[in-house]
Structure 1
Amino acid sequence: MDANYIDSYYYPRFLDSQFPSPSFPGLPGGFPGSPGGFPGSPGGFPGSPGGGQQAPTSPPPAFIPQQQTATPFAVDPGAISLCLFRNTYIWLRNGSSFWFFPIFVGRRSVSGFRWNGRFWTIFGIDTRQIVSFTCF
């Protein structure tokens, strides 16, 4: 798949609304959409091991965990950051649920890879849409 297609298709899903542009001076590699800032390229996501993070190489667990008590408020980014680089099951406000492998947590968003039943796809979401999660 062409890298330009990936940048133009997925880029808007990674931005927190408080950031006016994808330029982050001082961060090595920048951010998705900037040169060297896409997962798998030199630079990758800030804080990712080795500078760039690839999708997990194996499927998530074959079971669906029991949902924990749902919270009426937005998920705290500090809490979900404990699940970075781990298989995480997420339940959303719209009723969807899925396996997720987070690699970056912003102030109001989380991004990583979502399991679609056959393979991992790059994905990002606003933490206010997450009702609950559990990681393994």
Structure 2
Amino acid sequence: MAFMPPFGPQGTQQAPTAPPPQSPPPRPLTASALAVDPGAIRGCLFRNTYIWLRNGQSFWFYPTFVGRTSVSGFRWNGFFWMYSGISLDRIETFTCF
């Protein structure tokens, strides 16, 4: 079952009002073999989440919607939150708070 993204008064998704923690969390020891399970990352909805991609990039993310093959929400670019989507098969591992 997919969760619909939240909508604010203007009909758009609402970014977090505060920046994420200053430093990244420790990387989990386990990584997914093929793709992240949507049910696993669904537990991180509307929570600060740190994502490690298979290409070596990592960043803070605030997921607001989880589909069968992707997750969308807000990615921290170092200055502000930007709306973004990520294919679940690009995510190596993640942790949320």
Q: Same fold (TM over 0.5)?
A: yes
Letter of the 2:77 counterpart: N
Give the Å deviation of 1:53: 3.0
Aligned-residue Cα RMSD (Å) equals 1.7
The count of aligned residue pairs is 92
Give the Å deviation of 1:114: 0.1
Matching residue within 48, 52, 66 for 2:6: 48
Greater helix share, structure number = 1
Q: What do residues 53-111 of structure 1 show as CA deviations (whole Å, max 9, x unaligned)?
A: 31001000111111112222210000000000000000001000000000000000000
> In 2, Cα distance between the equivalents of 1:89 and 1:100?
6
Show the counterpart of 2:95. Answer: 134
Show the counterpart of 1:80. Answer: 41
Q: What do residues 1-56 of structure 1 show as CA deviations (whole Å, max 9, x unaligned)?
A: xxxxxxxxxxxxxxxxxxxxxxxxxxxxxxxxxxxxxxxxxxxx825276753100
- Percent identity between the aligned chains? 66
> Counterpart of 1:128 in 2: which secondary structure?
helix
TM-score by structure 1 length?
0.63
Structure 2 gaps of 5+ residues are none
> Counterpart of 1:83 in 2: which secondary structure?
coil
Structure 1 gaps of 5+ residues are 1-44
> In 2, Cα distance between the equivalents of 1:101 and 1:84?
7
Show the counterpart of 2:20. Answer: 60
More off after superposition, 63-72 vs 105-114: 63-72
Larger C-alpha radius of gyration, 1 or 2?
1
